[in-house]
Amino acid sequence: MQHNTYDDDSHYSAITRSKSKIGDLIEIECHNKRNYVGTLMPRYQYTNYKNIIVKLHNGYNVGISTETIKTIKRVGKQTKISAQNHIDYLDSTLPRILLLSTGGTIASSLDYITGAVSPTFDGNEIKKLIPEISKFANIDTEVIFLESSENILHSHWKMIAEKIAANRNLQYVGIIISHGTDTMHYTSAYLSFALVGFRIPIVLVGSQRSLDRPSSDAATNLISAIRFIIEYKSQGVFVAMHEDENDNTVACHIGTRVRKNHTSKRGAFQTIGDKPAFLIHSDGHITKNSNEVFERKFHGAKINLDPHVALIKYYPGYNPKLLECIIDHNYKAIIFEGTGLGHVGNTLYTNIKKATSKNIFVGMTSQCINGIIQMNVYESGRKLIKLGVTPLNMTPETAVVKAMWALGNSDNIHEMQKLMLKNIAFEFK
């Protein structure tokens, strides 16, 4: 993804005249009388071609528009940049881990002109940018795709599961998936159901800051995931992210119980209704908080799914015609994110009855982050149960993913409902 020269574009004639190369110390004089001294850095596929990237002495990168540059002077010889000059080696005494790249902020760089962050790093480049991970394990890398997390579809989930299943007989002690944070909990939920009992741990890792920023949390999250795999050797699917704003602890969450609860802070992820299953501390020890027994027999990957599932967030005044439209468009399951203990307004009762009479599965979750569904407490909840609504004590995100998976791995609505009510991957609150 990196472009190692600037002499392939007319905008960089000043660099060409100065005979500067990647890694050289350069001095830039701008027309606005601002000067910059720093190391000339590579540009990336998604970087604006009308700017250059310079690493200042304080460690921060800046983007400088070529239109503002008056002169460029080479003031120091080329130095090695770790991302460009890392040499791989294998240590036979270390375990092997597979790092699969899918994109997201952890695989992104910042365009210092526009401020936009785009996926540009594959797994091998991540490994080069964080060379200290080679102290813990031999890391094999492979790119499945490079997508921002909002672009990931159910077809991408299957690609990840297929790649993991294809490596089940190789001598890896664990698999790490670098992933965008915004939809990581959907992917972790699907993998939890599709790969129940997989013999080695699967850990999804992301970051809230891109790798090329000094404040990036990527290295701490990735190293902690590696340490967890090597030291604890637990089966299961997990999400490893900062517990809080500090670098002292990374939380390891069960893949079906985790949710992103903050847009930007480092400690954005939380286990719903409980503590994180594990805490990986910077001083080297790992704390287990969960009483769950993660060792289960692997009966093969069950990667089929059916995306004809709707997630409906109920709110006062929700138009029943919207629900009717979903019913008429061949959806096979509807998951409500209802109020409180699991309710929706009576204006939807007629359409809910229509859905269940057509053998469409209707499940109920809650808008509340904590607590469980209890639909027998109030009359409205009891009426919904009589209409065929199934209470689901799991997060709405996990419920919609599980419904897709259950539909893909059952022959009829009755089998699907049994799967929805079975605690398969620690999804129940």
Residues 186, 61 share a domain? no
| 427: in domain | no
Would you say 254 and 429 are in contact if contact means Cβ atoms under 8 Å apart? no
* pLDDT tens track for 125-157: 666 667 788 889 999 999 999 888 999 999 999
Statement to judge: residues 103 and 170 lie in one domain: yes
Same-domain status, 369 and 246 = no
The domain spanning residue 357 has which CATH number? 3.40.50.40
Q: Are residues 267 and 393 in the same domain?
A: no
33 burial via Cβ count (<10 Å: 0-12, 13-18, 19+): exposed
How confident is the model over 309-364, as pLDDT tens digits? 999 999 999 999 999 999 999 999 999 999 999 999 999 999 999 999 999 999 99
With 50 as the cut, is the pLDDT of residue 92 above it? yes
39 DSSP β-pair partners: 25, 55
Please check whether residue 172 lies inside any domain of the structure.
Answer: yes
**98-122 pLDDT, tens per residue?**
999 998 665 555 544 444 444 555 5
Please give the Cα distance from 203 to 220 (Å, whole number).
14
User: 6: which DSSP letter?
Assistant: S
Give residue 14's identity as a one-letter amino acid code.
A
* 49 and 117 together in one domain: no
**Structural domain total, the chain:** 3
Asked if residue 393 and residue 258 are part of one domain, the reply reads no
Query: Do 14 and 102 fall into the same domain?
Result: no
User: Using the 8-state DSSP alphabet, how is residue 256 labeled?
Assistant: T
Strand pairing category for 108-110 and 117-119: antiparallel
Q: Is a pLDDT exceeding 80 seen at residue 212?
A: no
Residue 404 lies inside a defined structural domain of this protein: yes
**Cα separation, 126 vs 216, whole angstroms:** 12
Residue 89 lies in a domain: no
| Residue 154 domain flag | yes
Whether residue 277 sits in one domain with residue 134? yes
Contact 160, 191 (CB under 8 A): yes
CB of 372 closer than 8 Å to CB of 391: no
Residue 211 — pLDDT band, cuts 50, 70, 90? low
Evaluate whether residue 161 is within a structural domain.
yes
Specify the length of the chain in residues: 429
- Are residues 281 and 170 part of one domain? yes
Say yes or no: 111 and 247 in one domain: yes
77, 128: one domain = no
Looking at the structure, do residues 244 and 346 belong to the same domain, yes or no?
Answer: no
What is the domain-level CATH number for residue 12?
A: 2.30.30.520
d(CA 346, CA 384): 9
Question: 342 is in which domain, residue-wise?
Answer: 309-420
Q: Rounded to whole angstroms, how far apart are CA atoms 128 and 212?
A: 12
Residues marked active site are found at: 105, 181-182, 260
- pLDDT score at 12: 57
Q: Does the pLDDT at position 407 exceed 60?
A: yes
